[in-house]
Amino acid sequence: MKARVSLVVCPGTLPSQGINRFDITHYNIRHSGKGRLTAREMMAQLPEIEGFADVEPDENEPFPVATHADLARFARHMQGVLDRPEIDGAVVVQGTNTLEETAFFLNLVLKTSKPLIVVGAQRPFTAVSTDAHLNLMNAVRVAACPQAHGLGVLVVTNSEINAGRDVTKTFTFQVQTFRSRDLGVLGYADADRIVFYRTPTRIHTMTSQFTLADADKLPKVEILYGHTGADPRLARAAIDLGAKGLVIAGIGAGAMGVYLPTCVALAADGIKIVRSARVGEGRVLAIGNAHEEGTIGADNLNPQKAAILLAFAMAHDMDNANIQSIFDTY
C-alpha cells in the first residue's frame, strides 16, 4: 500500500512559469505574465509522482512566509495536516531564499514523527533543465519513505537529503545550493532507492520544548553584520526600534568587533546578545577571546537560525544560562 503524502505549495521558484523555456530569471508574474502552477497542475505534468505515493494536493491558498507571524500561521496549518491519521507525510514547496528558516522554525514547533519535507528549486518549473521536476518527485519519495520517520524536518534538493536544522542556501543560482557544509548530508534520493547514512542528534519536533503557542508570541530579534566599517550605533538603534534581542553575525570566530562596547553594555542591561559568525562553518564558543560575559555563543547555527532560536528561548523568559543550554542542545 502506497503512503499518503500531502502536497502544500507556497510561493516560490519551483511552481513558477517563465516567459519561455530558456527563462530562468524573469519568471515572476510581473515579468512573465504567468501565474504559479498549482499542486494539481504540477502533478498532471509529472504523472510519475503517483508511482511513489498517493499524493493529496492541499487546496488552501499559498502561505506567505515573510515574518514570524506568517510562519506561526503556517506551522499551525501543517500541524493540522500531519495530525490527520490518514496522512503519512507531507511535502512543502517554498521559495529557496528563506527555505532554511522555514525548515528550522517547523523543526522547533511541530509535534510529529511523520516526515515533513521542505523543497524548492533554483529554476522555474517551465525552464529547460529545471531542477523543479526532480526535486519535487524526490521530496515525495522521501516523504513516503519509512526511514524518514522521526528525523525531524528535512530539505530535499539536488537528490540530497539535509537536516532542516543544518542546511543553508550557499549559491545564488546554481542547483547545488542547499548544503549542510561541515556536517554533510543525511543521505541521498538516488535512482534506485532512498538511502540514509546518518541521523540528526539535536533536539527537534517531538522532543522540542517549544510549541505553537510560543510561535505566536515571539519577541523581535535583529541581526547585525560584522564588517570593516560597521557603525557601532546600529546595535543601540535596533533596541530603540523595538528589538528585544540581538544576534551578531560576528567576524572570525564570532567576535563582535565594533559592536563590542555597546553590546556589552546592552547585555548588562538585560538585552539578550547571541554571538554567531559570518564565516559559514564551525562553532562559536561560549569561551575564549571572542566571548564576552553576559553574551551567548550560537554553537554552529548561522545568524538567521540563531535569531529564530533566540526568539523562542526569549518567549520562555529564559536567563542567559538557560539560553546557552538551548543553543548547546538544539
pLDDT, tens digit (0-9, with 9 covering 90-100), for 76-124: 999 999 999 999 999 999 999 999 999 999 999 999 999 999 999 999 9
Q: How confident is the model at residue 28 (pLDDT cuts 50, 70, 90)?
A: confident
Task: Look at residue 61 and tell me whether its pLDDT is greater than 90.
Answer: no
pLDDT, tens digit (0-9, with 9 covering 90-100), for 240-268: 999 999 999 999 999 999 999 999 999 99
Q: How confident is the model at residue 2 (pLDDT cuts 50, 70, 90)?
A: very high
Q: How confident is the model at residue 43 (pLDDT cuts 50, 70, 90)?
A: very high
Q: How confident is the model at residue 65 (pLDDT cuts 50, 70, 90)?
A: confident
CB 58 within 8 A of CB 74: no
Which pLDDT does position 125 carry in this prediction? 98
Domain limits, the chain:
4-207, 220-329
Candidates 13, 112, 130, 205; catalytic one: 13
Task: Look at residue 64 and tell me whether its pLDDT is greater than 90.
Answer: no
DSSP string, 89-157: EEEEE--STTHHHHHHHHHHH----S-EEEE--SS-TTSTT-SHHHHHHHHHHHHT-GGGTTS-EEEEE
The mean per-residue pLDDT over the stretch 28-44 comes to 93
Task: Look at residue 290 and tell me whether its pLDDT is greater than 90.
Answer: yes
Contacts of 192 (CB under 8 A, 6+ apart): none
Nearest CA to 244 among 327, 312, 311? Answer: 311
The mean per-residue pLDDT over the stretch 9-19 comes to 96
Which pLDDT does position 62 carry in this prediction? 86
Nearest CA to 165 among 146, 182, 177, 180? Answer: 180
The mean per-residue pLDDT over the stretch 128-135 comes to 98
Strand partners, 247: 223, 274
pTM score of the predicted model: 0.96
Going by CATH, does the domain composed of 4-207 fall within 1.20.1440.230? no
**Helix, strand, coil shares, percent, the chain, to 5:** 35, 20, 50
What is the C-alpha separation between 147 and 200, in angstroms, rounded? 13
Residue 172 catalytic?
no
What is the C-alpha separation between 226 and 234, in angstroms, rounded? 11
Q: Are strands 272-277 and 194-196 parallel, antiparallel or unpaired?
A: unpaired
The DSSP H or E segment spanning 72 is helix 68-83
* Residue 84 identity: R
The rounded mean pLDDT for the chain is: 97
Nearest CA to 197 among 233, 163, 227, 155? Answer: 163
Q: How confident is the model at residue 6 (pLDDT cuts 50, 70, 90)?
A: very high
CATH number of 220-329: 3.40.50.40
What is the C-alpha separation between 269 and 245, in angstroms, rounded? 11
What is the C-alpha separation between 116 and 154, in angstroms, rounded? 6
Task: Look at residue 194 and tell me whether its pLDDT is greater than 90.
Answer: yes
CA 283 remoteness from chain centre = 19
